[in-house]
Amino acid sequence: MQVTYWLEHAWLDPEVEPGVVVDVSQDGRIADVRTGVDTPPPGATVLRGLTVPGLANAHSHAFHRALRSTVQVGSGTFWTWREVMYSVADRLTPDTYHALARAVYAEMALAGISTVGEFHYLHHAPDGTPYDDPNAMGEALIAAAAEAGIRITLLDTAYVSSGFGKEPDRHQRRFSDGTTEAWAERATLLKDRDHARIGAAIHSVRAVPADQLDTVAEWARTRGAPLHVHLSEQTAENEACLAAHGCTPTRLLADHGVLGPNTTGVHNTHLTDEDIALLGGSGTGTCMCPTTERDLADGIGPAVALQKEGSPLSLGSDSHAVIDLFEEARAMELNERLRTRTRGHWTAAALLRAATADGHAALGWNDAGRIERGALADLTTVALDSVRTAGPVPRLGAETAVFAASAADVRHTVVGGRHIVRDGRHERVADVPGALATAIGALRA
């Protein structure tokens, strides 16, 4: 059944327009966009506030949501944080992971996220034994996204080594298929569906031996699938790569055919000038995760330089210290201001583009992230009358969304023309906080 939405204000990149009508066809795509419509047409669903395209969370580890607050006790480094993370990963089963991911993806929907890129490496039982269905954990995530009403790109992750040739440790055994050939055989069993697309990931140059990188790259290339990789998140990774191979992780990936327009480096924090040129010149994307990068004391990546060299930017909530794409967009700009002591590195429109169209492109959904005819009908509406957003004129809606709003200001999320969040309430998961508390509590039992 065709649906019509009347948007009080809409961000039609790069401008905000008042009174916009969006007609949605039966296939969940935008059939028409009309501007200058002062009052809602009869039968139209009214979305008051500022409507932007659905947001794309380009980098997620759903199970990290169970770490929120727990890892804020005491001090330490990324590597001590990782030990706590492993302890949670050890306790997950397909059923408990489904329950947790369903709640986490519902939280994302409440935050205006219509698509998630799930960087998935919890493949097997804790001792490394495959489940009867070798993709039981991945299928649990795909089902969870469907039940929460959002799209997913499952970035099935190759993870073979604990670090430059070392065998996986006891925590990492469930991540490993043994070889990338075995990984490819298992990943090939996963299939796209209406709400889900299958991509690939190289966990890192630490976790996939250099002579096996091309297997993953070729798997993605032959399928036209997105390929993601954790890249230079830590200086220790760079130092270990230099010791093992005499080059940076970026150069290693370039030499083994991993870089390119369908590839996204996640974090890209500690890069040389040559690294930046390699990434930008190859059209390799950059997914920045500012709230996680600051939470883990990783550092501030050279996002401005990367974009200038030709690397498209996307955003992710990664460890889910918070799930708020407006905060991620804001943090990317504000971090750069702190680093350089100058302002205005990106316009609000450019930051929204990273959170919408460019994020979707990084996940293989090139037909999403825009409010235009033919695009997937994914919409996110932000209140312009909350204590955070009240006051500015509506034409500054993009600036208000990026620099003042939070996930709490999302009033509506529409995915494929279907209302998933209405007036701040999830239509499919009745009690999202309760679902989160129950799923996380079960992992402490």
Q: Which residues are catalytic?
A: 267, 318
Cβ contact 237:245 at 8 Å? no
Per the structure block, which two tokens stand in for 87? 């302890």
The interaxial angle of helices 213-223 and 180-187, nearest 10 deg, is 20
d(CA 265, CA 284): 7
Single-letter amino acid code for the residue at 325: L
d(CA 179, CA 128): 13
d(CA 131, CA 244): 34
Give the DSSP H/E element, type plus range, for residue 263: strand 263-267
Burial label, 31 (beta-carbon count in 10 A; 0-12, 13-18, 19+) = middle
Cβ contact 410:110 at 8 Å? yes
